[in-house]
């Protein structure tokens, strides 16, 4: 108990524990208690609720929920959508980061802001804009319909809405890092005769691999979990255009609480795996930074 | 690991997945013995009904024609569903809560002719329903009729009339009850000589419905949401519900949780069905879609409707045991009291209409 | 694209990468969003004004802004305590708590929605005690605030953590040596240094709360004038075939979001300058 609360050793070198920079013991305990209670009530309890509600009628009922073809179709659709949206945004994130981080050009802040826009837009609006664009009463709807193309209320519409809400995730992880790293490494490689493509693969990509992975993990979590935008463009056809979050809503509205929370528990597991991976990547990249630089970080000067 | 990831492979994978996804979206259906898919866009409480009916119809169609038909369903609030069809959810048939919602599809998107309601018997309503009360077991507050709903000790649960078809029926039934109480005989509504009395009664009805909605603590967007609020969340003392939803709640939750109370007067709700011509022709599904709707009027269709607590229009085909479950209640028609849906919608539910004027935030 | 004149660089690939990025952003973000403005322009200024000043829209916006603000404020206080504890103290289970901060971000909003509703409904674990003291958790403005607090927490904590880690302990020590009480040091040295980060976190949480839909629709009860949030009203307008009205409310929310984005960028620039000056 005596060691329970003590000053945390600061991460950076050259700094030591100092009594003058801590609060009295009782304040520390109070802060700690507040943190634990607040996080417990606000974060952990909802998570626990998902699993207890899912298992309320026992493991049998829980697993039976996944025998429903509609639930399986929802899982399949969610995986498909993520498998399309994440690679698209991966390609976009890398190209955008290359252009923005490695070059100076006018209008750069405009492009950067544009990348951030989906974060600031309500998910409902993200869905609605595609209804206005691709819907039968919208701009392109009549043309699409005449050519037998179904975008909205079908898989393509769900993919596009998902792409919209996940545009920023990978680019935002890469841009600051690549800006910080500058272009010296790449210039050196080019001087040594590497082609542009080789430079990218051999120099740039290894430098940003952890940030890239981090972005992909976040992007994937959001792609699989998006509700508002997808709900507007889905059409809710059973076994066809319902993603897992939509299936949760439908089951919940059908009095089928066990099944709703069972599907929700899969999504919660996904969230936990995401958090675990994220923590792992953070730790690995921190380790890589200390190994790579060897010296005290140059940026500190 | 990342180093060996060749971007050209990635691009190929993206294109492949993209093309797979798009391939799944397109729909082609040839007529004839090819398997065929039909999309029925419906409202919330019909899930169980159409699950049964679809199975029976698919078997029937296979036997009659040798063709396999797969039925796809989409459920949601009636307004939301109609909106989705207008925006291009390519339903072959729609089976919605109100004629008004199908009218909207006809008028706003011209996906079916304006006269759609005359194409099938009984105003295109193969089954009807009504509004009843669901109360806590043993009816502790002794709720018997619409009057009791405005008592200060009673909290009423209903969905939002702006978004739920069922809630519009609830609202209109309450309004009709107040008119009937004031006028004694609803036929006086049609009598020009009674205009003054009718006007006075309308004022009272407006007051009555205002008081009723002042007793509503939660206004969900759909019928299912309200039932969940009442039953699972234990909010409110009485739920205004579709008759079939009320029976379903009793069945699903056990008869020891809730009771059904039948008021002295309620409204004849006619959930309508229609073929969406433009989409059915586009998919080449007109024949099977028409058969699908017509078969709802067949003995089998009527029996399945009654089994799921919808009142069949041809009761002689239904199981008498199922029919015996329907309580006797005086049902008024929307055409007689409100001059039809378009009228009721315009006066009561459009933006700025009566509902918007009377619904004020409660305590 | 003449305005995109670039400075000389030896690196290849500027044209194609920027071209592709800009095309992608235009197709996915810019064109669809600008359509929204055109759609609301159908109404004209008068119509637009009528929509956004109608009582139901005003009530929904008041709730959305109010609850998002309250949630962000709760997070600014509690999030500061959490971030401070996580940065300055060590205790068993700390890493777990630190990892779990991002849960609201990783958990699909529909899942958060049904979990919070179950928890705060009058029959739920937390709803029952709240009910006992006369407070309604779910289906009330309080429920909306709770959901938005849940959603916004990671934004505040994750913005504060790096700022707290970058604090110069020497300054705190110097203040203590010069005889300042701990409380005074915190107020005079620490708080001013982290204010930009705190405000940024607050603004991010506020912006997120303003647009949040999934977790709120379940817990709010969706009563017009009382617990209806602005994003839900957009959906409701769409369901009533009122596309222009829906677009008008969407434009209103968008403008608010952009102003917040702008504020956040300015705040970040401010905190950037602070750091530079301090170095």
How remote is the C-alpha of C22 from its chain's centroid? 26
Q: What pLDDT, on a 0 to 100 scale, did the predictor assign at position A290?
A: 65
Q: What pLDDT, on a 0 to 100 scale, did the predictor assign at position B1?
A: 34
The mean pLDDT of C226-236, rounded to a whole number, is: 86
Q: What pLDDT, on a 0 to 100 scale, did the predictor assign at position B239?
A: 95
Q: Residue C88: is its pLDDT beyond 50?
A: yes
For the stretch B310-333, pLDDT in tens is 999 999 988 899 999 998 889 999
The answer to whether residue C2 sits within a structural domain is no
Which chains neighbour B (Cβ–Cβ under 8 Å, 3 or more pairs)? A, C
Which of the residue ranges B225-234, B246-255, C22-31, C43-52 has the most confident prediction, judged by mean pLDDT?
Answer: C22-31
Q: What pLDDT, on a 0 to 100 scale, did the predictor assign at position B360?
A: 67
Percentage of residues in chain C having pLDDT higher than 70: 94
Q: Residue C87: is its pLDDT beyond 80?
A: yes
Q: Residue A11: is its pLDDT beyond 60?
A: no
Q: What pLDDT, on a 0 to 100 scale, did the predictor assign at position C56?
A: 83
The mean pLDDT of A221-243, rounded to a whole number, is: 91
Q: Residue B9: is its pLDDT beyond 60?
A: no
Q: Residue C217: is its pLDDT beyond 80?
A: yes
For the stretch B84-102, pLDDT in tens is 899 889 999 999 988 888 9
For the stretch C112-152, pLDDT in tens is 999 998 899 877 889 889 888 888 888 889 999 999 999 99
Between A84, A253, A254, which is nearest B17 by CB?
A84
Question: What string of H, E and C letters represents the secondary structure of chain B?
Answer: CCCCCCHHHHHHHHHHHHHHHHHHHCCCCCCCCCCEEEEEEECHHHHHHHHHHHHHHHHHHHHHHCCCEEEEEECCCHHHHHHHHHCCCCCCEEEECCHHHHHHHHHHHCCCCCCHHHCCHHHHCCEEECEEEEEECCCCCCCCCHHHHHCCCCCEECCCCCCCHHHHHHHHHHHHHHHHHHHCCHHHHHCHHHHHHHHHHHHHHHHHHHHHHHCCCCCCCCHHHHHHHHHCCCCCCEEEEEHHHHHHHHHHHCCCCEEEECCCEEECECCEEEECHHHHHHHCCHHHHHHHHHHHHCHHHHHHHHHCCCEECCHHHCCHHHHCCCCCCEEECHHHHHCCHHHHHHHHHCCCCHHHHHCCCCC
As a whole number, the mean pLDDT across chain B is 85
- Please indicate if any CB of chain B lies within 8 Å of the CB of A240: yes
Distance from B87 to chain C by nearest Cα, in Å? 10
As a whole number, the mean pLDDT across chain C is 85
Residue in B89, B112, B245 to test binding to A, most A beta-carbons within 10 Å: B89
- Is the pTM here over 0.95, yes or no? no
Per-residue pLDDT band at C274 (split at 50, 70, 90) = low
Q: What pLDDT, on a 0 to 100 scale, did the predictor assign at position C8?
A: 54
What the block records as the tokens of C262 is: 């702008």
Percentage of residues in chain C having pLDDT higher than 90: 33
Q: Residue C1: is its pLDDT beyond 60?
A: no
Q: Residue A289: is its pLDDT beyond 60?
A: yes
The mean pLDDT of C209-228, rounded to a whole number, is: 84
SS3 A229: helix
Distance from B34 to chain A by nearest Cα, in Å? 19
For the stretch A23-57, pLDDT in tens is 778 888 899 999 999 999 889 999 999 999 999 88
Q: What pLDDT, on a 0 to 100 scale, did the predictor assign at position A246?
A: 93
Q: Residue B257: is its pLDDT beyond 50?
A: yes
Chain B residues lying within 8 Å of A80, measured CB to CB: 17, 20-21, 24
Q: Residue C211: is its pLDDT beyond 50?
A: yes
Chain A residues lying within 8 Å of C213, measured CB to CB: 122-124, 227-228
The answer to whether residue C15 sits within a structural domain is no
The mean pLDDT of B19-27, rounded to a whole number, is: 39
Look at A43 and C14 and tell me if their CB atoms are within 8 Å: no
For the stretch B170-198, pLDDT in tens is 999 999 999 999 988 888 888 888 888 89
Specify the higher pLDDT residue, B9 or A156: A156
The answer to whether residue C6 sits within a structural domain is no
- Residue contacts between B and C (CB atoms, under 8 Å): 68
Specify the higher pLDDT residue, B241 or B164: B241
ipTM, 2 dp = 0.85
Q: What pLDDT, on a 0 to 100 scale, did the predictor assign at position B20?
A: 42
Distance from B230 to chain C by nearest Cα, in Å? 11
The mean pLDDT of A72-98, rounded to a whole number, is: 95
Give the Å distances, CA to CA, from C232 to A233, B306, C123.
Answer: 15, 36, 25
Chain C residues lying within 8 Å of A11, measured CB to CB: 165
The mean pLDDT of B346-353, rounded to a whole number, is: 87
In terms of phi and psi (left: phi > 0; alpha: psi -120 to 50; beta: otherwise), the region of B322 is alpha
- Please indicate if any CB of chain B lies within 8 Å of the CB of A206: yes
Chain A residues lying within 8 Å of B22, measured CB to CB: 155-156
Among A277-291, B41-55, B315-329, the least confident range: A277-291
The answer to whether residue C9 sits within a structural domain is no
The mean pLDDT of B349-359, rounded to a whole number, is: 86
Distance from A18 to chain B by nearest Cα, in Å? 42
The answer to whether residue C1 sits within a structural domain is no
Give me the phi and psi of A73, to 5 degrees please.
Answer: -65, -40
Among A129-133, A224-228, C119-123, the least confident range: C119-123
Between B104, B218, B359, which is nearest C225 by CB?
B359
Look at B252 and A153 and tell me if their CB atoms are within 8 Å: no
- Residue contacts between A and B (CB atoms, under 8 Å): 119
Q: What pLDDT, on a 0 to 100 scale, did the predictor assign at position A256?
A: 81
Q: Residue A264: is its pLDDT beyond 90?
A: yes
Which chains neighbour A (Cβ–Cβ under 8 Å, 3 or more pairs)? B, C
Q: What pLDDT, on a 0 to 100 scale, did the predictor assign at position C82?
A: 94
The mean pLDDT of B113-118, rounded to a whole number, is: 93
The answer to whether residue C23 sits within a structural domain is no
Q: What is the CATH number of the domain that holds C70?
A: 1.10.3720.10
Look at B235 and C225 and tell me if their CB atoms are within 8 Å: no
Look at B162 and C226 and tell me if their CB atoms are within 8 Å: no
Cα–Cα dist A61/A25, whole Å = 49
Q: What pLDDT, on a 0 to 100 scale, did the predictor assign at position A291?
A: 61
Chain C residues lying within 8 Å of B220, measured CB to CB: 221-222
- Please indicate if any CB of chain B lies within 8 Å of the CB of A69: no
Instruction: Give the list of residues 6+ apart from residue B356 with CB closer than 8 angstroms, or none.
Output: C56
Number of separate domains in chain C: 1
The answer to whether residue C183 sits within a structural domain is yes
- Please indicate if any CB of chain C lies within 8 Å of the CB of B144: no
- Please indicate if any CB of chain A lies within 8 Å of the CB of C260: yes
- Please indicate if any CB of chain B lies within 8 Å of the CB of C16: no
By residue range, what is the domain housing residue C58? 35-278
Chain B residues lying within 8 Å of A149, measured CB to CB: 25-26
Look at A34 and C85 and tell me if their CB atoms are within 8 Å: yes
The answer to whether residue C202 sits within a structural domain is yes
Per-residue pLDDT band at C273 (split at 50, 70, 90) = low
Q: What pLDDT, on a 0 to 100 scale, did the predictor assign at position C147?
A: 95
């Amino acid at each position: 108990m005596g060691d329970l609360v003590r000053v945390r050793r600061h991460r950076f070198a050259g700094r030591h524990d100092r009594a003058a920079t801590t609060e009295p013991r009782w304040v520390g305990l109070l802060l700690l208690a507040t943190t634990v209670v607040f996080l417990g009530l606000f974060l952990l309890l909802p998570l626990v609720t998902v699993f207890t509600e899912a298992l309320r009628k026992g493991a049998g009922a829980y697993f039976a929920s996944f025998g429903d073809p509609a639930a399986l179709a929802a899982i399949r659709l969610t995986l498909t959508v993520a498998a399309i949206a994440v690679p698209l945004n991966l390609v976009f994130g890398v190209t955008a980061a290359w252009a923005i981080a490695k070059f100076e050009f006018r209008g750069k802040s405009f492009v950067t802001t544009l990348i951030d826009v989906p974060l600031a837009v309500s998910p409902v609006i993200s869905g609605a804009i595609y209804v206005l664009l691709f819907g039968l009463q919208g701009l392109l709807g009549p043309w699409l319909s005449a050519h037998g193309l179904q975008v909205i209320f079908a898989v393509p519409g769900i993919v596009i809405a998902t792409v919209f809400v996940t545009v920023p995730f990978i680019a935002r992880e890469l841009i600051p890092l690549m800006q910080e790293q500058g272009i010296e490494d790449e210039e050196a490689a080019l001087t040594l005769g590497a082609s542009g493509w080789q430079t990218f693969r051999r120099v740039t990509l290894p430098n940003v691999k952890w940030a890239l992975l981090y972005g992909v993990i976040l992007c994937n979590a959001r792609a699989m979990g998006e509700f508002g935008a997808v709900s507007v463009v889905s059409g809710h056809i059973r076994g066809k255009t319902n993603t897992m979050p939509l299936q949760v809503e439908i089951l919940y509205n059908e009095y089928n609480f066990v099944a709703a929370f069972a599907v929700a528990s899969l999504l919660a597991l996904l969230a936990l795996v995401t958090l675990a991976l994220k923590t792992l990547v953070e730790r690995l990249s921190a380790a890589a930074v200390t190994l790579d630089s060897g010296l005290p970080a140059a940026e500190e000067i | 690991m990342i180093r060996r990831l060749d971007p050209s492979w990635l691009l190929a994978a993206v294109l492949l997945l993209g093309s797979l996804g798009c391939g799944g979206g397109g729909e082609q259906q040839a007529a004839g013995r090819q398997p065929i898919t039909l999309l029925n866009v419906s409202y919330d409480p019909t899930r169980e009904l159409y699950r049964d009916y679809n199975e029976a119809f698919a078997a029937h169609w296979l036997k009659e024609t040798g063709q396999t038909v797969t039925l796809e369903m989409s459920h949601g609030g009636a307004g939301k569903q109609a909106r989705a069809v207008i925006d291009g959810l390519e339903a072959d048939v729609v089976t919605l809560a109100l004629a008004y919602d199908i009218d909207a599809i006809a008028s706003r998107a011209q996906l079916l002719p304006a006269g759609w309601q005359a194409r099938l018997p009984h105003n295109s309503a193969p089954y009807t329903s009504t509004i009843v009360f669901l109360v806590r077991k043993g009816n502790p507050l002794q709720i018997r009729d619409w009057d009791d709903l405005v008592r200060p000790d009673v909290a009423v649960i209903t969905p939002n009339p702006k978004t739920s078809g069922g809630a519009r029926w609830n609202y209109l039934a309450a309004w009709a009850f107040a008119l009937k109480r004031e006028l004694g005989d609803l036929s006086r509504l049609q009598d020009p000589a009674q205009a003054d009395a009718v006007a006075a009664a309308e004022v009272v009805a407006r007051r009555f419905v205002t008081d009723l909605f002042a007793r509503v603590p939660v206004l969900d967007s759909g019928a299912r949401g309200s039932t969940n609020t009442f039953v699972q969340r234990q909010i409110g003392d009485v739920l205004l519900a579709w008759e079939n939803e009320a029976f379903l709640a009793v069945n699903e939750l056990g008869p020891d949780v809730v009771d059904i109370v039948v008021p002295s007067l309620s409204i004849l709700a006619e959930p309508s069905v229609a073929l969406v011509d433009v989409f059915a022709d586009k998919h080449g599904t007109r024949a099977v879609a028409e058969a699908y709707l017509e078969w709802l009027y067949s003995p089998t269709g009527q029996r399945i409707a009654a089994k799921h607590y919808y009142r069949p229009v041809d009761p002689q085909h239904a199981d008498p045991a199922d029919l015996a479950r329907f309580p006797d209640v005086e049902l008024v028609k929307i055409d007689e009291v409100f001059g039809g849906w378009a009228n009721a919608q315009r006066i009561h539910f459009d933006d700025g209409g009566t509902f918007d004027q009377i619904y004020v935030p409660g305590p | 694209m003449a305005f995109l004149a670039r400075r000389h660089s030896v690196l290849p690939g500027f044209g194609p990468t920027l071209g592709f990025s800009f095309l992608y952003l235009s197709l996915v973000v810019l064109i669809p969003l600008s359509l929204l403005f055109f759609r609301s322009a159908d109404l004209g200024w008068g119509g637009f004004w009528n929509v956004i000043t109608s009582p139901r829209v005003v009530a929904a916006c008041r709730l959305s802004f109010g609850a998002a603000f309250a949630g962000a404020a709760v997070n600014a206080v509690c999030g500061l305590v959490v971030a401070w504890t996580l940065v300055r103290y060590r205790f068993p289970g700390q890493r777990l708590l630190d990892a779990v901060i991002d849960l609201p971000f990783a958990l699909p909003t529909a899942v958060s929605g049904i979990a919070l509703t179950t928890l705060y409904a009058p029959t739920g674990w937390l709803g029952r005690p709240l009910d006992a003291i006369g407070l309604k958790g779910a289906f009330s403005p309080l429920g909306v605030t709770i959901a938005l607090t849940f959603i916004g927490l990671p934004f505040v904590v994750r913005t504060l953590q790096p700022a707290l880690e970058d604090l110069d302990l020497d300054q705190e020590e110097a203040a203590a040596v010069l005889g300042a009480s701990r409380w005074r040091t915190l107020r005079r040295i620490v708080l001013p240094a982290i204010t930009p980060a705190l405000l940024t976190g607050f603004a991010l949480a506020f912006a997120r709360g303003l647009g949040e839909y999934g977790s709120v629709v379940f817990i709010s009860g969706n009563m017009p004038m009382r617990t209806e949030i602005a994003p839900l009203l957009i959906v409701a307008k769409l369901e009533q075939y009122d596309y222009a009205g829906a677009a008008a409310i969407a434009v209103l929310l968008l403008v608010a979001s952009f102003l917040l984005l702008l504020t956040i960028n300015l705040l970040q620039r401010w905190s950037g300058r602070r750091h530079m000056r301090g170095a």
